[in-house]
Structure 1
Amino acid sequence: MNNKNLSVFFLVSCFLFLALASLARGAEIFFDPSVQDLGVGDQFEARVFLNTEDEKLNAFDGTVSFAPNLLEVKEIRDGNSIINFWVEQPHLASPGQIYFSGITPGGYAGENGLVFTAVFQALAEGKGKLEAREARAYLNDGEGTETQVSATDMRILISPGSVGPTIIVAPVADTNPPEDFTPIVSRDPQLFNGKYFLVFNTQDKGSGIDHYEIREGGRPFRTAESPYTLKNQALDEKIRVKAVDKNGNVRIATVPPLMPSPWYKNDIILVILIFVVLLAVFYSAAQKKAARRYEK
């Protein structure tokens, strides 16, 4: 092979190598641990991680599947997740299927990004696995370009019984409230028939967010999800949003009235003014009565 042929061969080889490397790029979903041996009745944590392979990603969704005759989901935790806004928090969508969907504004790039953690209990002897199915990820490129996602399964071997005491996963020790957040009132002609709605979200780095509650004015708190259509479209009342984590810790954010009522429509101020007027009348009457006694 002469030098010219060698040069052509070298260039073609480099081109093919770079092309294959480009095709191999993409995110990877994997589990920690990758292998789990346990006995019937034992519990274990399965942590779902994302490796972006040097790409910056801002949206993710997918399903973690397992054999429901072998494993039971005891708890799903999203504390410390790389996902800031859950479109759908990780949840048991159907037997053997945990679905999740979320967004990370600004994007995330890294090798060990925790998505969520699931606690399982072994139900029966057998071999099984956890696998990520229909996983999708999108580049933080302003266009929402979908990138390739590969997945590495977690192998599970369940023996008839534990060698020692039954393994139980301890609950998360969390005494801190969810992080501060600022609810936003918005309106869009294309949404909710043009009515005002409230958007809110926060994170809890410990046990994860359990639910939200909303209170408009003097009404009682009620469980709600974002976005929430406001009952009071006049926007003349204070709005409180309560974020509750899975350990019961609470953070409350307050939105002041955006269109305060005139002072004469405020019941408290009106009561105070009536009280002051009555007090002034009684004081004036008392002064006049005292003056008449003095004249006599």
Structure 2
Amino acid sequence: MRNFAKQYIRIFILPAVLSAVFFLLATSAEAARLYMTPLKGSYQPGDTFGVDVRIDSEGECVNVVDAKISFPKGAVRPVDFSRGESILTLWIETPALAPVTDTISFSGGIPGGYCGRAGGDPGISNVLGRIIFSVPGFSVGVAPVGIAHIDFLETSKVLLNDGLGTEAKLQREGSAFTISTTPSTTTTNEWVDAVRSDTTPPEPFVVEVQQNPLAFGGKHFIVFSTTDKQTGLDHYEVSEVDRYGNTPNSERPALWKTVQSPYVLSDQEIKSVIRVKAVDKAGNERVVEYVPDGYGLMPKPKPASVNPGILLGVGAGVLLLGLIIFLVRRKKRTRETTPPPPENIAG
């Protein structure tokens, strides 16, 4: 009987246990988890709140996140997306808010990969982005929503940093918020509070001038990137300034214009200063410059000055010449109009 039990364990039980252990190890080695914080909360019409989208790589290294998030239309409305604390540094698809389709999507990468919270990090450095939601007032004919579920769609993906683009087994955890149907005399606006408290400009960065025969028809262009740890970046602006303080190849004063990186330069000879301004969502700015070799501001050229005495002399000469021409023409006309003297007729 004992021999039979041992054989049964050896043949059936032990392989099953080993297979289960192997399966669990394999699963945990390739798993990743997308989740949100806070997981729950209570809000009312007029409130504005933030939801952090986070990732847990489960000990593995990942380098690409493609997130698709759904929310109930009418219960909440996405109004902004902050990338201030995001670990994504290369944005493949910038955050797109689509209230009509009730979805939010973004895709980004981490060059070198993200392998989890760094040792000694006092915070939880796994934020992909923060979605700012507002709770609209209820409309006539629209049924109020008691619980607003914000979830990841099944089409969301996370890729491992294995050089093969392997898709990780993914766990998805959303949030659920209670939406009150009774407005209150006081409202919560977490986003406005964050913007008002943000007095720090975006992080320092550099501007690089590049040229590639396969890009932009071989024209010179600039690349730049930075982050903002508080409210996140809002936009970039560029200004090209020639030696006279003007826009290159024009006499118009140099102005700022909103652009994205990469940006094709107007001055393809690279003789102008290139200024790039990063502006965060609180309006804080950081400006950096690229100064070409040999650049130096010069005073704007002035019209050539002429000695007043010379002008007076030239003017007098022109008048004298005009007077002479007038007298000559007058004398000529006098001769033409004077009748000839009568001829003497011999008797």
TM-score, with length taken from structure 2: 0.70
For 2:160, give the aligned amino acid: L
% identity of equivalent residues: 31
For 1:36, which of 32, 41, 64 is the aligned residue? Answer: 41
In structure 2, the CA distance between the partners of 1:249 and 1:40, relative to structure 1 (3 Å rule), is closer
Which residue of structure 2 aligns with residue 120 of structure 1? 133
For 1:47, which of 52, 64, 83 is the aligned residue? Answer: 52
In structure 2, the CA distance between the partners of 1:213 and 1:11, relative to structure 1 (3 Å rule), is same
Which residue of structure 2 aligns with residue 148 of structure 1? 169
For 1:224, give the aligned amino acid: V
For 1:14, which of 7, 14, 18 is the aligned residue? Answer: 18
2:164 & 2:175 partners in 1: Cα distance? 33
Which residue of structure 2 aligns with residue 130 of structure 1? 150
In structure 2, the CA distance between the partners of 1:11 and 1:250, relative to structure 1 (3 Å rule), is same
Q: Map 1:221-236 to 2 at 5 A.
A: 221-236=256-271
Kept in 2, the 8 Å contact 1:90–1:116? The answer is no
In structure 2, the CA distance between the partners of 1:249 and 1:42, relative to structure 1 (3 Å rule), is closer
Alpha-carbon deviation of 1:36? 2.4
Alpha-carbon deviation of 1:197? 1.6
For 2:225, which of 201, 204, 226 is the aligned residue? Answer: 201
Q: Map 1:207-218 to 2 at 5 A.
A: 207-217=231-241, 218=246
Which residue of structure 2 aligns with residue 288 of structure 1? none
Matched pairs, number: 268
Q: Does 1:5 align with 2:12?
A: no
**Higher Cα Rg: structure 1 or 2?**
2
Which residue of structure 2 aligns with residue 65 of structure 1? 70
Q: Does 1:182 align with 2:206?
A: yes
TM-score, with length taken from structure 1: 0.81
Alpha-carbon deviation of 1:57? 1.5
Structure 1 gaps, min length 5: 275-296
1:267 & 1:162 partners in 2: Cα distance? 60
Which residue of structure 2 aligns with residue 81 of structure 1? 86
Secondary structure of residue in 1 paired with 2:156 = strand
Q: Deviations over 1:62-108 (max 9, x none)?
A: 22211222111233222111122333332314532222122222221
Flag the structure with higher strand content: 1
For 1:137, give the aligned amino acid: V
In structure 2, the CA distance between the partners of 1:138 and 1:188, relative to structure 1 (3 Å rule), is farther
Where in structure 1 do 4 or more consecutive aligned residues deviate above 4 Å? Answer: none
In structure 2, the CA distance between the partners of 1:6 and 1:185, relative to structure 1 (3 Å rule), is same
1:85 & 1:153 partners in 2: Cα distance? 24
